[in-house]
Structure 1
Amino acid sequence: MPANPVADPEECRAFMTAHPEVRFVEVVFTGLTGVPRGKRLRIDELPAVYDYGRFLPGSILVVDTQGADCEDTGLVWEDGDADRRARPVPGTLTLAPWLGPDVAEVMLSMYELDGAPNDLDPRHVLRRVLDRYAADGLTPVAACELEFYLVDMARGPNGEVLPARSVRTGRRPEGIQVYGLPELEDHAPFLRELWDTADIMGLPLEGAISEFAPAQVELTLHHKPDAMAAADDAVRYKRAVKGIAPRHGCEATFMAKPWADRAGSGFHVHVSFADATGANLCADDRPEGSDLLRHAIGGMKALMGDCMAILAP
């Protein structure tokens, strides 16, 4: 199985030449829980990350959503919390404007010390799946779409989460108002900065809608014939959203159900399968779609129980 490509050191040198203002860079690894973790480095440390990699402890592969070690995995004390080798992902070294004008970020992927892909890195898991598609002459075309709520940074009198107030009126939103335009205008400065940041980072961020609850928002990322890049887009986009929101007096939460009596926030993964000519093999003249589409739906139904270990860890 071929490993994911490792970024060329020339990418680092070109970036540093183009951005002499950058003093710090956050190296970001996303493990099985989807929570980004890593280090903030001085910019003069970055070339070594590109030339060889950066050591990270193996336990980072299996920490839980709250950042605690999962000792039962055997990757903490049993192997002495042994180092793995983290290497940069091509095309992910960008400015991170919400962190300041002198800060950049780059994604990492995890390898063993001998250079073999680490089995628990989600990027390598996905690569194995994509290799199986390639062997069948198929290319998944994918995009991710994440709903989230904008909430007040301060909690209510009983510690409850509250929808963020409008920057235009100062009022707290009420009612559903799905696809409401005033509800988007209530958070226009946040959305403007988010779109500007996405352009700087090379993220294919598209339109926004007001979703099915007060202060709930959804934006789309354009699909790509590269499911790995689409997944990377989602991770980088979510990190930017959460980083930008406090600059506008609120927080962004991607929790599935912040309120029991309001709409949940979904993470939609849009997938079709293309052949070597780029034709969509899920679509044909039948209303129910092609046999390939029906088999894909049947497979997801059959495996849904097992998938909950990943979908709801």
Structure 2
Amino acid sequence: MFFRWDWLRPVLTAPIVPTLGPVHPHVLTVDLFEDTLRAAVADRSFLHYDKDRRWSSEKDETVLRGDVVHQSDHTLIPTLTRRGRGTVKVFAYGHRDSVVDDAAELSAKLAVVHDVVNARVVRPLGPENPFPRGTRIQLQDFTARPCLDPGGPVRPVTDWPATVQGTFAPFASAMAADGLAFLHGQMQAGRCGPVLAAAVDGRIVGAIGPMEVRPDAIGCPQLMPQYFAVLPEARGQGLGRVLWRAAMHWGQSHGAAYQLLQTEVGGPSDRLCQSEGLTSLGFSHTTRA
């Protein structure tokens, strides 16, 4: 056992695990952190419950196990990815503000050691933080209340007439910055679950997907994260809310117990999820080292 849970648990202000991202509080155990260390020495292998297995055959980000700092009042866990020009991220767990400085120093040093360009610090913040910033982690609990079908002009892309389906490609291209072009490629290759789309006047103007339910670290079914976008000219008509509610209805109808969402604090998706009554689990704030 590498980590002492009596040291680590008190500083886990938000349920964020290196290389895995946000997790449900019910799976937040020392074993989860131990698993990330074991995966780091297994030649870039995925953990069986890693959500990123959907998109790649090998894990890109791994823990730099030999550089972990684990002390009674704080823990620093560095990770490395070679994607692009490379990035070292140090996850800084601790209550004192100086833990960010310690993490920045470690990140900058390791970026030089591993010859990568980017050095980052990831600071989990609790939901009670008076100055929320970065990414909010939100929980949709499908066991709490029914998620009704919102109706409206939303259905799986493949259920729309062929002429409407043909408008998905230009929609995806226009929303490439939101990941829709990548998603379209996965759809064409048959590598993902269904995608829900909203159409107006015979043209797709919004989409959310892929819709997939997979087990978490303890076997509980979770609705996986989706790409979600609405064309700028189609916003302000409530289509985003209808799409989101249709996705939640799909998840609940297909046996998901929950979903975790990450939204930019103050952004449209953040405001939508807050208005829909999701539970805030905390924040992830990333800065340059």
Given the two structures, how large is their TM-score scaled by the length of structure 1? 0.30
Given the two structures, how large is their TM-score scaled by the length of structure 2? 0.32
Structure with higher strand content: 2
Give the structure, 1 or 2, with the largest relative contact order (CA under 8 Å, sep 6 or more).
2
